[in-house]
């Protein structure tokens, strides 16, 4: 059978069957590792069901990757959405530029979310939006906490495998929960000491959002 890897914890993978969308807990065959290709989230794999009742399976082979990112480890993304917050943490435009360059290098689509508009007292977002729209990137201003402009984000996700990328605390998991209209991802607090996030999300995970559309919550930003 063929399936998409949604989650990974050490040698255990959650894989979604392409045909009936059932979920299986799978291990990777030893020989896969010898070839130095550990399966990662986003991989399409051939697998064999070892126990239908407990939904256990074994991954036999990884199909050729259309895209691969080393940090964080993910395969076959078609789009990266870079999330920037106006405050706590403040916008890091150099990091944003590096990430946009990385998206171009990977040949995936790129878009920008400016989150925490409610905290944008200095109205920095207006300038940031103008600059990045001018060079051709879609830019959406959001307030994830109150779900403002979330519909615009949803439209970008159709028929794409998307990952959010951005500093800890910018609101990636809060955006995920707003998009899915329920708590799928764990949201963290901002440390009162350094006003940064505390790396609440520790594992990469793909969530299905409609036909052939998936969204990943990732712990870090995408980088060379
Ligand atoms: N004021 C305000 N706070 C927000 C908004 N969106 C998210 N937050 C808060 O910002 C904090 C961090 O949000 P998370 O969603 O955990 O951030 P993250 O990007 O997933 O962080 P990591 O998982 O650590 O990478 C939480 O306390 C959220 O409630 C917003 O639009 N406005
Ligand atoms: Mg998170």
Residues 6+ apart with CB under 8 A from 184: 176, 177, 207, 217
Domains of the chain, residue spans: 2-64, 69-217
Q: Would you say residue 186 has pLDDT above 80?
A: no
Rounded to the nearest whole angstrom, what is the distance from the C-alpha of residue 145 to the centroid of ligand 1?
8
**pLDDT tens digits for range 110-144:** 999 999 999 999 999 999 999 999 999 999 999 99
For position 203, what pLDDT does the model report?
79
Task: Determine if the peptide bond prior to 89 is cis (ω within 30°).
Answer: yes
Query: What's the alpha-carbon Rg for the chain, to the nearest Å?
Result: 18
Residues constituting the chain: 224
For position 208, what pLDDT does the model report?
92
CB atoms within 10 A of CB 18: 12
Q: Is 190 in the pocket of ligand 1 (CB under 6 A)?
A: yes
Q: Ligand 1: which atom is nearest the Cα of residue 197?
A: 24
Q: Ligand 1: which atom is nearest the Cα of residue 198?
A: 24
Rounded to the nearest whole angstrom, what is the distance from the C-alpha of residue 107 to the centroid of ligand 1?
28
Extract the tokens encoding 187: 């949201």
How far apart are alpha carbons 4 and 16 in whole angstroms?
A: 5
Rounded to the nearest whole angstrom, what is the distance from the C-alpha of residue 14 to the centroid of ligand 1?
27
Q: What percent of the chain has pLDDT over 70?
A: 96
**pLDDT tens digits for range 63-77:** 999 999 988 889 999
Ligand nearest to the CA of 143: 1
For position 217, what pLDDT does the model report?
81
Which of 188, 179, 182, 168 lies closest to 144, judged by CA? 179
For position 33, what pLDDT does the model report?
61
Q: What is the DSSP letter of 197?
A: B
How far apart are alpha carbons 185 and 43 in whole angstroms?
A: 21
Q: Is 202 in the pocket of ligand 1 (CB under 6 A)?
A: no
Rounded to the nearest whole angstrom, what is the distance from the C-alpha of residue 200 to the centroid of ligand 1?
10
Residue 224 pLDDT class (50, 70, 90 cuts): low
Q: Which CATH architecture has domain 69-217?
A: 3-Layer(aba) Sandwich (3.40)
Mean pLDDT of the residues in the chain: 91
Q: Is 197 in the pocket of ligand 1 (CB under 6 A)?
A: yes
- Of 32-46, 137-151, 162-176, which one has max mean pLDDT? 137-151
CATH 1.20.150.20 fits 2-64, yes or no: no
């Amino acid at each position: 059978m063929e399936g998409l890897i949604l989650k990974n914890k050490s040698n255990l993978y959650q894989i979604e069957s392409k045909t009936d969308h059932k979920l299986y807990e799978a291990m990777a065959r030893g020989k896969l590792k010898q070839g130095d290709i550990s399966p990662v989230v986003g991989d399409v794999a051939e697998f064999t069901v070892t126990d239908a009742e407990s939904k256990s399976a074994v991954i036999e082979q990884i199909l050729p990757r259309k895209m691969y990112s080393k940090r964080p480890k993910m395969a076959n993304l078609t789009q990266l959405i870079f999330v920037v917050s106006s405050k706590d943490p403040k916008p890091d435009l150099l990091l944003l530029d590096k990430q946009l360059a990385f998206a171009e290098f990977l040949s995936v689509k790129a878009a920008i979310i400016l989150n925490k508009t409610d905290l944008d007292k200095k109205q920095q977002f207006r300038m940031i939006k103008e600059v990045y729209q001018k060079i051709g990137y879609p830019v959406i201003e959001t307030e994830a906490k109150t779900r403002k402009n979330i519909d615009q984000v949803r439209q970008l996700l159709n028929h794409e495998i998307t990952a959010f990328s951005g500093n800890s605390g910018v609101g990636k998991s809060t955006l995920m929960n707003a998009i899915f209209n329920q708590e799928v991802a764990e949201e963290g607090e901002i440390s009162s000491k350094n006003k940064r996030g505390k790396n609440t999300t520790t594992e990469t995970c793909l969530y299905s959002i409609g036909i052939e559309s998936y969204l990943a919550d990732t712990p870090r930003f995408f980088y060379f």
